[in-house]
Structure 1
C-alpha cells in the first residue's frame, strides 16, 4: 500500500492525519514528522518556517518511512512565498526527498478546488489580515476567485489548535458568502477533518480544509486517490485528472 509522508510544523492538529488513515482503512500509511520554528502567523516567521533547510530536515526524518510522496503540511508556510516561490519550495523538497513527488498545502487547495470545478470561493482564515490576504493572492494566481475573505486574527498556530470543535464549526460557518461555490479553511493547525461533513451539511456546499486537502494531495501524488466516506465532498468526487 502507498505511504505518504507529511512534514508538519510544530504541534497543533497533527492528529487529523491518523484519523484520515483510519477513515481510509485500506492500509495506506500517512506518517507525520515534525519540524520546529516560531509558530507565529507573521510573514518573517513563516518564511523561516518554510525554508529549504527546515524542509530538508523534514524530508530526512520521513526517509525511514520509505514514502511514495511527501507533502509540506502547512498553508501559510507555503503561500507566503508567493506562487513562484512556493513552486521552488516544492521542487527543493522533492530534491531533498530523493526525487519523490512533492507538494504543499497551498497547491493542494488550488488543485482540490480545480478538481471540484470551483471558481468562486469564500475563505475563512484563522490568520491576521495581512497573512490571509497573501492566501487570496495565491488562489487568484491559481485561477480561483475569492468573493469573500474573513480573518480571525489568531496570532499563533498553538492557539488555533486549542479551539474546541464547536468554535471551529461556528467560526467557519459564520464566514460563508452566498456567492461562493465553496468555503476554504486554510490552516493545518485547525482540527477540521472530523468536522468537514458537519460543516458541509450546515452550509449545503463543499468545504475544503487544510488537512483534508493536504491528505488528498498526498494520495493523488502517490497514485492512491480513491473515494472514501467521512472526508467531505472532495473525497467523494471522481477527478479524472488525478
Structure 2
C-alpha cells in the first residue's frame, strides 16, 4: 500500500486528509501525525513551529506508518523561512525520516503552479498582512507573479479552522483577480478540499489550496503519477494542462 506521511501542526483542518484519502479512492494511505506549538500567525512563532527539532519529532511519529514520502503540511511554517530556508527545512525533514523524499506545503504551491504553467496568481490568505506578504515574496522567488494578495488578518490557525464553508467560499471568490491565471488559498488550517471543484466552476480557473497541493505533492514525490476527480484541476490532470 503506498503511504504518504504528513506532519501537521496542532489541530485545525486535519480532517481534510482522511477526506482526501476517501476521494482518491484507491489504495493510497494518507497518514497524519501532529506536532505542537503556538498556532499564532506571527513570524517568531512560525519559525519555532517549523524548527528542525519539531519536524524531527514529526518524522519520528510517522515512522510507524512506513511512509514512502513525508510532507510538512504547513504553509506559513515553511515560507516564513524564505526560499533557501524552506529548501534546508525539507532537507532536514528528509534526513530525519531516514532519507525519504520530503517537501512542504509552500514548495508544493510553487511546484504545482510551475507544473500547471501558471504565470500569474491571486492569493486569498487568511493571514495578517505581513505574513501574507512573505508568501507572495516566496512565490516570486519561484517565478510566479502575484497580481493580487489579500490578507484576512486572522491571527490563529484555530480561528481559521472554525470558518464555515460559506465564509471560505466568500473569501476565495471576493479575492480573485481577472489578470490571475489561478487563485491560491494558502493555509492548511482551512478546510478546502470539498470546495475546490465548486470554486473552480465559479471562477473559471484553477484553484490551488493548501491541503490540496500538499496531498498532490506527497503523491508526486512518492512517484505516484495518477489522476483523480473531485480535487480540482491539479489532481484531475495530474498537474498537466
TM over 0.5: yes
2:91 is aligned to 91
Find the residue that maps to 1:30 and give its secondary structure. strand
Find the residue that maps to 2:224 and give its secondary structure. coil
1:161 is aligned to 161
Q: Spell out structure 1 runs of 4+ moving beyond 2 A.
A: none
Aligned mates of 1:23, 1:237 — CA distance in 2: 15
TM-score by length of structure 2 reads 0.98
The residue correspondences of 1:7-86 to structure 2 (distance < 5 A) are 7-86=7-86
8 Å contact 1:116–1:237 — kept in the other structure?
no
Aligned mates of 1:232, 1:201 — CA distance in 2: 10
Aligned mates of 1:13, 1:172 — CA distance in 2: 17
Q: Deviations over 1:57-102 (max 9, x none)?
A: 0000000000000000000000000000000000000000000000
TM-score by length of structure 1 reads 0.98
How much does 1:225 deviate? 3.1
Q: Which runs of 5+ in 2 are unaligned?
A: none
Q: Which runs of 5+ in 1 are unaligned?
A: none
2:136 is aligned to 136
What's the RMSD between the two structures over aligned residues? 0.7
Q: Does 1:233 align with 2:229?
A: no
1:119 is aligned to 119
1:104 is aligned to 104
How much does 1:158 deviate? 0.2
Count of equivalent residues:
240
Aligned mates of 2:76, 2:148 — CA distance in 1: 18
Deviating more after overlay: 221-230 vs 182-191: 221-230
How much does 1:239 deviate? 4.3
Find the residue that maps to 1:118 and give its secondary structure. coil
2:2 is aligned to 2
The 1:239–1:170 alpha-carbon spacing in structure 2 relative to 1, beyond 3 Å, is closer
